[in-house]
Chains A and B, each alone.
Chain A
Amino acid sequence: MNNVERTQTQLVLRRFFRHRAAVTSLILLVLVTLFAFAGPLLWRYSYTDITDDLSLPPSPGHPFGTDLIGHDTFAQVMRGTQQSIKIALAIALIGTVFGTLWGAIAGLYRGKLDFLMMRLVDIVLTLPLIAVAAAVAAQGVGQSQWWAIAVVLGALTWPYVSRVVRSVVLSLREQEFIEAARALGAGNVRIILRHLLPNALGAIIVSATLAIATGILGEAALSFLGVGVQAPDTSLGLLVSINKDAVNTRPWLFYFPGLFIIAIALTINFIGDGLRDAFDPKQTRVRR
């Protein structure tokens, strides 16, 4: 018997690193991220380079082949992955920060304010996310920057986060330590920032992780509908969408970027699953 004292964070990390699928996913995701951000510095072609090799299938010189005008698909997938990850992170950040504050305030104050705030959440949830994003984003086509897409999708992601945070806060606020904090004279701002949010951190991190996966898929869907990232820039969604008619003739153009989308979303979902188990051992399925 060795009783080592462990902090909450250490416990969470220990549980997370026991989740085999989550750890494998984390390693894979780190590799994909390195590929996207460090790869372009090392690779001999840039995503804008036009080579003399037209429509070549994958070969040692062009691991992912080339397209009709000679773009190196490997370089394009690197750039696309980079842009997609950037957009997805921004979506998750915007959605999580805004959603967390919204949910925490609604849950803490309850009453009329909570009712009004949650009706607004209902309103956003009534609308098909992709349709609204398409309607808004279409107007900015041409000058749309990657962050504009992130703002639009982030603005539509927060209701999900705020619902989760609100329900956590609703149960936390009734507990004694909040009452104690209040008795000691803590104001609402302090209670939210110092007491409620740290305790809701697990739920927030999990929903943020899942928001990244939603973000990757959302960006892909928008780019497919022609209202996402615009050429000459590129993203994984745009690459798949541009090459959708090549699926039969030059399948490498269609399948490689698609596989990267799936790899990113899949690993993130597994990591989210692992984090959920790590933060909330009550829900954990017994792992032996």
Chain B
Amino acid sequence: MFAYLVRRLLAAVPVLIIASFLSYALVALSGDPLEPLKLRNPPAPQRTIELETARLGLDDNIVVRYGHWLWGVLHGDFGESVQSTYDIGANLTRSTAVTLRLVLVAMLLALVLAVFTGVLGAVRQYSKSDYVLTFTGFVFLAMPLFWVAIVLKDLAVRYNKATGTTVFYTIGEKSQGYDELSPGAKVADLAGHLVLPTIALALISYAAWSRYQRAAVLEVLNSDYVRLARAKGLSWRKVLVRHVLRTALIPLVTVTALDVAGILGGAVITETVFNWNGLGRMLLTGVARGDTDAVASWLLLAGLIVVAFSVIADALYAVLDPRIRHE
């Protein structure tokens, strides 16, 4: 099992390398990051432009630049930013911690919602609650994430104003005086800031998953072994949890792992709405500056996260379905 997972990870290496080369080339070839410097008024000295060009390696061809960057990444150096004081590696580490918190909690919430509504919809197929759940799911599927996030934020601001309290945090991933807080208060502060962005991201993600879950449960419900389990006299609840749900979770695991890239994109948007200083801001500043190294590092990390989730999904198959054993 373990060896299988390691092999899966190794197989992902070429995919990641090519993906990172493509994204590196796309960003590098699409604009000149020194343009602001060159167009500056009064003009920057020629010497400065030359030095910056050399520091960023802009004169090298794209393969050399990419190789240089990749070599650095393998040794823990994520390259040079257009803004020389900007430490890409340090920012990447800090932002990842911030954003993964959002992504993981939102995925967990979305999964719980999806399993609950999916199972309910399947068990009560064609009932009123099934139709209501289906329609609600379709509505969330049709909503732009940033729109939901802004509406949630507005509602929270109104509620805070009306009650004269700060029940909901609407700005940032932590409070201003966070560093002075006691450890317990720190956790509470982070959790408080997580509430709204998590709800927004989870609402957008759960709907599609819920459809898959419903379909999967329906299929299992009609299978012979469920009929057998009932015929043996097992209680309905036991059949549902032990026999139906376990099998019906497998397709959901697949879909969830496939959607991780989409959720990372969603996190970028959610973070922008709620003014978080995480991976979202890092990507958008990098993009605005034409910071090839920063954007490529970002995308490589995103690719790694996606691959990690697909490997976790593989491991979960074996847990859920005893017939699947990775040799």
Contact = CB atoms under 8 A, between A and B. Distances in A.
A221 B303 CA distance: 21
A122 B142 contact: no
Contacts of A220: 144, 146-147
Interface residues of A, number: 43
A126 B307 contact: yes
A102 interface: no
Chain A, interface SS category: helix
Nearest to A267: B142
Given A127-B19, A134-B287, A225-B269, A247 B142 contact: no
B146 A240 contact: yes
Interface stretch (B47-55, B77-85, B150-158, B187-195): B150-158
Interface string B135-161: 000110111111100110010011000
A140 B287 CA distance: 11
A237 interface: yes
Interface string B283-327: 110011010000100110011001100000000000000000000
B144 A126 contact: no
B262 A129 contact: yes
A182 interface: no
Contact of A126 (B19, B138, B272): B19
A248 B295 CA distance: 35
Contact of A247 (B141, B151, B272, B287): B151
Interface of B, secondary structure class, is helix
Interface in A199-220: 213, 217, 220
A125 B254 CA distance: 14
Interface stretch (A6-14, A32-40, A67-75, A257-265): A257-265
B23 interface: yes
A63 B325 CA distance: 62
A172 interface: no
Contact of B269 (A124, A125, A221): A221
B258 interface: yes
A135 interface: yes
Contacts of B22: 123
A50 interface: no
B15 A126 contact: yes
Contacts of B145: 217, 221
A240 B138 contact: no
B26 interface: yes
B27 interface: yes
B67 interface: no
A209 B261 CA distance: 22
A87 B26 CA distance: 22
Interface in A109-164: 119, 122-132, 134-136, 138-140
A247 B154 contact: yes
A72 B151 CA distance: 23
Nearest to A270: B138
Interface of B: 14-16, 18-19, 22-23, 26-27, 30-31, 125-126, 138-139, 141-147, 150-151, 154, 157-158, 258, 261-262, 264-266, 268-269, 272-273, 283-284, 287-288, 290, 295, 298-299, 302-303, 306-307
24 contacts: A119-B14, A122-B15, A124-B19, A125-B258, A125-B261, A125-B306, A126-B307, A128-B262, A128-B299, A129-B261, A131-B302, A134-B287, A135-B283, A136-B27, A220-B144, A220-B147, A224-B269, A240-B144, A240-B146, A241-B146, A244-B273, A248-B154, A265-B143, A285-B125
Interface of A: 119, 122-132, 134-136, 138-140, 213, 217, 220-221, 224-227, 237, 240-241, 244, 247-248, 254, 258, 261-266, 269-270, 285
In the complex, the 4 A-B pairs of residues with the closest C-beta atoms, listed nearest first: A130-B265, A139-B30, A265-B142, A266-B142
